[in-house]
Amino acid sequence: MLLQVENLRMHLHLRRGVLQAVDGINLHVAEGETLGLVGESGSGKTLTGLSLLRLLPKGSGRIESGSIRLDGQELTTLPEAELARDIRGRRIAMIMQDPMTSLNPVFSIGDQVGGPLRNHDIARGTALRSAVVDVLKRVRIPSPEDRLGDYPHQFSGGQRQRIVAAMAIGCTPRLLVADEPTTALDVTIQVQIIALLRQIQHDQGVGIILITHDLGVAASLCRRIAVMYAGQIVETGPVRAIYRSPSHPYTQALLAAIPRLHSKRTRLAAIPGQPPSLIDPPSGCRFAARCPMRMDQCAAPPPTVDLGDGHSAACWKLAN
């Protein structure tokens, strides 16, 4: 297994209280596999991705328990220096949520795409230049040789996202964490980035964790899906199982709440209420307050029920 995350808990110690942003997460990604991490805003997707690299919010973030193993190597106990040298940007790369803030406006893109290659001592001098040209070609920036000296603002939004992707794949990472790589883009450009991610995966066999709140993007790109709600994974399984036979009431509700293209116009099934605060969340099932199938048992933490074929969900209803 490329990546194996067990019972990961990452809390933020804020002045307001302890925010349980990532609370007991289990995940695994095989080589060349795409796992979709879906969930609504504030459910802890980005912080889960950052926790894998131990890039925690300064001062407040702390990994409380759990293990993260990359190719069998434990990352939670790895010294910081080793993590920076061998893991971050090298074996695990990340495409950040906002392409505008991942690129520094005052450096040329040649410098920025070459940065990780230089830092990890992969290439120098003319080899570096040709490596940068090569990786920009792979993300389909037209005539990259002539554009190495250009600055981020001279590229369109879609091209900027490609450049961010080029920075991430330059060092041929084993795992790529892509945080909402298409959210800021228009649909016709989004298609191109989806195709690019597919191609990267096909050519390099990297494992991808795709973080998104768009169930359409997740369906088009992922082999497996993990549905996150309020800091926890409520359901995980093969993409078909999740979309065709969702088992957790939250997944069901989410799929019923989105309007779909080319389907009959029916009233959307809204989910009442709103997600709980992650400071002092309910001790039992965190979805219980909004769940149409709520029972008395839901006041206790629900067990994770194995539904076969790698499909599992954390719900009392399924346990009975």
Partner 1 sequence: MLELAGITKHYRTRNGVVRAVEDVSFTVPPKGTMALVGESGCGKTTIAKIILQLERPISGTVRFEGADIATMSRAALHAYRRQVAAVFQDPYSSLNPRLRVHRIIAEPILAHERPGRAALDKRIAEVLDIVGLPATAATLYPHEFSGGQRQRIAIARALALQPRLMVLDEPVSALDVSIRAQVLNLLQDIQAEFGLTYLIIAHDLALVEHFSSDVAVIYLGRVAESGPTEPVFANPRHPYTQALLAAVPLPDPDHVLSETAATGEIASALNPPSGCRFHPRCPHVFAPCPATVPPAYPAGAGHHVACHLLKDSPA
Ligand X SMILES: Nc1ncnc2c1ncn2[C@@H]1O[C@H](COP(=O)(O)OP(=O)(O)OP(=O)(O)O)[C@@H](O)[C@H]1O
CA 308 to CA 294: how far, in whole Å? 24
- Judged by beta carbon distances under 5 to 8 A according to partner kind, the member of partner 1, ligand X, Mg ion, none in contact with residue 19 is ligand X
Told to check if 269 binds partner 1 by CB under 8 A, we report yes
Position with the least CB separation from Mg ion: 46
Q: Which amino acid is at 236?
A: T
Instruction: Give the largest Cα separation in the chain, rounded.
Output: 67
Residues 188-227 that bind ligand X (CB under 6 A): 213
Q: Are 113 and 147 in contact (CB under 8 A)?
A: no
Told to check if 14 binds ligand X by CB under 6 A, we report yes
Told to check if 46 binds Mg ion by CB under 5 A, we report yes
Q: 54: which 2 tokens?
A: 């131990």
- Judged by beta carbon distances under 5 to 8 A according to partner kind, the member of ligand X, partner 1, Mg ion, none in contact with residue 195 is partner 1
Told to check if 102 binds partner 1 by CB under 8 A, we report no
Kindly write out the interface string for residues 135-174 of this chain, putting x where it contacts ligand X by CB under 6 A and - elsewhere. ----------------------------------------
- Judged by beta carbon distances under 5 to 8 A according to partner kind, the member of ligand X, Mg ion, partner 1, none in contact with residue 57 is ligand X
CA 164 to CA 167: how far, in whole Å? 5
Residues 40-99 that bind ligand X (CB under 6 A): 41-47, 57, 60, 97
Helices (H), the chain: 45-52, 80-82, 99-102, 109-119, 125-138, 144-147, 157-169, 187-204, 215-221, 239-244, 249-257, 316-319
Position with the least CB separation from ligand X: 46
CA 139 to CA 163: how far, in whole Å? 7
What are the residues binding ligand X (CB under 6 A)? 12, 14, 19, 21, 39, 41-47, 57, 60, 97, 213, 278
